[in-house]
Every structure is written in C-alpha cells, then in structure tokens.
Amino acid sequence: MSWQSLRITLDASHAEAFSDALMALGAISAALEDADAGSLDETPIFGEPTEPDAGLWQHCIVTALLAPDQQPADLVARAALAAGLAEMPAWTLESVDDQDWVRLTQSQFDPIPISPRLWIVPTWHEAPDTQALNIRLDPGLAFGTGSHPTTRLCLRWLDENIKGGETVLDYGCGSGILAIAAARLGAAEVWGVDIDPQAIQAAAYNADMNAVNARFYTPDQAPATAAQIVLANILTNPLKALAPLLAGLTLPGGRLVMSGILESQADAVKGVYREWFEFDAPAAEEGWVRLCGEKK
C-alpha cells in the first residue's frame, strides 16, 4: 500500500493554520519545516537566553501524509479556505511506500568511525571494533548522531585535544554526543545545555547508557559556571546572538569550539567573537566549518 506525501510552501502568517486545517480534515500527520533551512536566511524559532522567541519561520514548508483514498486537491482547497488564503496554493504530491519506519530510520544510522580509536555506535548495532572507545547512542528526538559533518568535526577536535581532567560545557547538547565523548575521553567534569526538554531527556539517557557522569539542563536551570572547553554545535545566527554568553562561560585561556557554520559564514562568526577570542585556522568538511578560539 502506498501513502501520499503532500508538500506546500507558505508564509508564516498562514502556515500553522493551514497545517491545523489539514489535520482537522483528516490528514494522518502534518508538520512544518523551515523553507530557508541550509541558507543564510535560516533562523531558529526558539529564542536563546539572550533574545525572545522569533516566532514561526518566515517561509514554511507544510508537509502532510495522506491515506491512499484521500483526494489531495480537495483537501488543499478546503484547508486553504479554512486558513484564510485568498487563492489555492501550489502543491506537490509524492507516493510513499508503506514501510517499517523504525527499521528504515535505524538502517540509515550505522556505526561511524571518528578516528582509529573513537566510534559512535547506535544501540541497535554491534561495535565493529570492540577494542575501540565506543560511544553507544540512541538519539531519540534529539539532534546528534555523529553522521553530520559538524558533529564529526567537533568529535575529532575532542579526540585530538582532550588530555584528561578538563571541565567541558556542551551548549546546544542535543543527544549529548559531544558531552559524552568528552567524558569518555577523560574530561573531569561535563555538563550540557539545550532549549529542548526532549533533548535533555535523550542526553541524560545516553549518558547513563555510556556510564558517564554528565549533567544536562535547560538554559534557565543551567549553572553559570565557566568551563575550560565550551562546545557549541548550533547554527550561525544563534551563535552570533549567544556570543556574549558563550564568551562569559569560557574561562580565560580556555577554548571555544563552534560548528554548524557554513564556510561562507565563517568570517562573519569570527568577527562577532574577535573581541574575546583568538582563532585557529578553521577546519572544514562538506561545506561546513569548525572554528576554535582561545579566550583572551
């Protein structure tokens, strides 16, 4: 049996109402995505501690899953009317084969070698190298599997630079992968911060699974303690907004490691942080950059 995947691009003023209307009209699921994701216009919808919530993305992609017998044209027309749209929006439709979605998702996440001694191993796989330092991971609903270039860049930095005994803060911890890696590599005290409560739960679960002592907080609960190493694998715009906060959380002589930055954005990010940091040469992979600065 094949399902139908509906896709419509709308502005922020209509996207949420349109998505709600699709659900009310019988769509199996509906979700919103940032139509500008991966571009310079990409923006977060959740506010960081230094700024209020930005609200919904300016341009949204509404995706909906429909049953095989549902009529997409009729559904779109009725949802447009309910959402107050002046005219019928353009839409595309794809066929989606019925699959075991859990197994499909898991099949796309295999063990990942970060270095000869460091591997990220999902919980449903056996470790390819039992003698390596294997980080067991179940990302759940949080970002961070080790498959994205930005995560790999940060993991490699930790593998090369953690000597043992450091204090490490992972700001925007997601699944907790960087914090857990730091602890497994020998950091003495590790904690993480994320605005998403589901990420905090996933990170705490993964830390327990790896038998490491790492603590995770939402920003309003996090200690104001500065660390020798601060990791921030987020996105360019939040990194810019968080500059004073992250600078304050880095001890003098400490290191700030940032990623989630496109190569074309690296100079702009460094410009915001130069007041506090001297930067090493950037490291790049697949168009993404890792920046590392030493606190003045």
How does strand 167-171 pair with strand 227-233?
A: parallel
Q: Count CB atoms within 10 A of the CB of residue 69.
A: 6
Helix, strand, or coil (residue 219): coil
- Identify the pLDDT of residue 32: 85
Helix, strand, or coil (residue 185): coil
Topology annotation, domain 2-98: Alpha-Beta Plaits (3.30.70)
Encode the chain (296 residues) as per-residue pLDDT tens digits: 578 889 999 888 888 899 999 999 998 888 888 877 666 655 554 444 544 444 457 778 899 988 888 999 999 999 999 999 988 899 999 887 765 544 545 556 788 899 999 998 887 788 888 888 999 887 665 566 777 899 999 999 999 999 999 999 999 999 899 999 999 999 999 999 999 888 899 899 999 999 999 999 999 999 999 999 999 999 898 999 999 999 999 999 999 999 999 999 999 999 999 999 999 999 999 999 999 999 99
pTM value surpassing 0.75: no
Q: Which CATH architecture has domain 108-295?
A: 3-Layer(aba) Sandwich (3.40)
Q: Where are the beta strands (DSSP E) in 78-127?
A: 92-97, 112-115, 118-122
Residue intervals in the chain for CATH 3.40.50.150: 108-295
3-state helix, strand, coil in the chain (%, to 5): 30, 30, 40
Rounded to 10°, the helix 177-184/149-161 angle is 20
Residue intervals in the chain for CATH 3.30.70.120: 2-98
Give the span between the Cα atoms of 235 and 256, in whole angstroms: 15
End-to-end CA distance of the chain: 61
Amino acid at 281: A
Q: Which residues contact 19 (CB under 8 A, 6 or more apart)?
A: 30, 31, 32, 62, 64
Helix, strand, or coil (residue 214): strand
- Identify the pLDDT of residue 54: 45
Residues 196, 229, 181, CA angle at the centre, nearest 5°?
65
Helix boundaries (H) for 162-294: 177-184, 197-209, 236-241, 243-248, 266-273
